[in-house]
Structure 1
């Protein structure tokens, strides 16, 4: 793992140098801390948590969305991250778990130093997300979100693409946003899954603006036509800027909407190759 960390450092330096040489002049578009979703390193954390955190630090990442890995308590994991200058502003929890034990989510978030708890999947029959599923989620989210807010934590729902099932003059995603209480329920936009599900990240940011508090940065391979399954092969997750998602415009609108935390989530099997390039791409963008 140490060799990997050093290789990543060299790769990042080279990628930044190459990208900067072609960057347009002007002020940086991306001005927030570079964050990562812990799922990016799902293959590495089980092998060596500390070496993986060193890898993340070597990339210049200072924020992470995630929870304590196996073998670590939340307090122990926070201490290891703190020692490397990595904050954990957001963590995740499963739908069934948070509905059953919302205070457990509060306790875990506070132990990690997180201000946000997100849920990334609503249980449903694959490819057939229904109005009944959406109605139940709205009811549960409003209740759970109220409990979290009363305890100083913001609840966010992270879309996965299947929510863009047509409904009335919009989609079931619109139904969820419109029927959840803005006081208790916020959103994390995953820009790849939005695009893959047939949604328009730019249009949604214009439409719902301040409802978005968090964002997953990822790109969908050009030529890939999405669907409503909420899934796509790992090879369709490409380096930021190499795919079909309009990342510069999304970042402009997200900043305007007030999104403060951005997490690169690389679901490919080439995260060690792609992460340095994705970070370099973000830093190359100009206003």
Structure 2
């Protein structure tokens, strides 16, 4: 299986480079190897964690964001990661767990070796309202302070689309950014969940700069119409460069914003093909 993934990645980048559009001269636009979100291989992880980590390592990926321990203790998962030279840099948890069990969240994150704690959903009854945003601001400021001052961890909120509901002269996402304390609250930009509700991820990066610390790399299938639900079929995740998002513009803005960790996320059934394709596309980009 691991040899297959190595061969597949090599084949894809070779095919891409046959096209002169992908073989421009110049320095690479994205020189680093991206990380991966564990949710990409959720089904495989639920069956065999060590084998799944072997598959990921075979792709050359050594940076991960975990939002599930897949039945392992944090200590056991950390041992498996260390054995393969893979780091967990971000630990994702649910909103209620973050707010009501902050100390335990911090303990697990630190055992895993993570520097960031991430939440990707604010509980609400659609549509997302100002009251929902206000509650989240209060919780994020409070918990972010605990994580930073007591545990040395950085809290990040991951957008999911519904936050871009219009509010005032902007959106409720703007409200979240402007009313949270930069010392304690940062953000993870999911570029699909910015584009899907009609935003330009590159413009968001230019607007808020270093408030964004992390990024999910994913693309939206051509022809899909977005909305403010924060929901779309997982099969609308496609390899970078084959969807609707202007990836080069996003990466240039991300570099300027000093994004610290990039994670590929592909929720589709085709992730075993699309993740290597995404990696090959990123290697092919030139300045």
- Same topology, TM > 0.5: yes
Partner-residue secondary structure (3-state), 2:103: helix
The aligned residue for residue 243 of structure 1 is 243
The aligned residue for residue 197 of structure 1 is 197
Partner-residue secondary structure (3-state), 1:117: strand
Count of matched residue positions in the alignment of Structure 1 and Structure 2: 283
Partner-residue secondary structure (3-state), 2:43: coil
The aligned residue for residue 271 of structure 1 is 271
Partner-residue secondary structure (3-state), 1:122: coil
For 2:69 and 2:3, how far apart are their aligned partners in 1? 23
| Runs of at least 5 residues in structure 2 that lack an aligned partner in the other structure | none
The aligned residue for residue 12 of structure 1 is 9
Displaced runs of 4 or more, over 6 A: none
For 1:43 and 1:228, how far apart are their aligned partners in 2? 28
Partner-residue secondary structure (3-state), 2:44: coil
The aligned residue for residue 206 of structure 1 is 206
Partner-residue secondary structure (3-state), 2:60: coil
Q: Does structure 2 retain, via aligned residues, the 8 Å contact 1:33–1:261? A: no
Q: Does structure 2 retain, via aligned residues, the 8 Å contact 1:156–1:186? A: yes
What does 1:1-287 correspond to in 2, within 5 Å?
Answer: 4-22=1-19, 23-67=23-67, 69-126=69-126, 128-150=127-149, 151-287=151-287
Cα separation, partners in 2 of 1:11 and 1:256, compared to 1, 3 Å: same
For 1:168 and 1:71, how far apart are their aligned partners in 2? 44
Deviation at 1:86, TM superposition (A): 1.0
Q: Name whichever of 172-181 and 196-205 sits farther off.
A: 196-205
Q: Does structure 1 retain, via aligned residues, the 8 Å contact 2:49–2:70? A: no
For 2:46 and 2:101, how far apart are their aligned partners in 1? 26
TM-score normalised according to structure 2 size: 0.96
For 2:212 and 2:74, how far apart are their aligned partners in 1? 26
Q: Does structure 1 retain, via aligned residues, the 8 Å contact 2:91–2:109? A: yes
Partner-residue secondary structure (3-state), 1:230: coil
CA offsets, 1:156-184, max 9 Å, x none? Answer: 00000000000000000000000000000
TM-score normalised according to structure 1 size: 0.96
CA offsets, 1:2-47, max 9 Å, x none? Answer: xx32221211111122223432111111123320000000110011
Q: Does structure 2 retain, via aligned residues, the 8 Å contact 1:15–1:277? A: yes
Give me the CA root mean square deviation: 1.1
Q: Does structure 2 retain, via aligned residues, the 8 Å contact 1:145–1:154? A: yes
Deviation at 1:116, TM superposition (A): 0.2
Partner-residue secondary structure (3-state), 1:156: strand
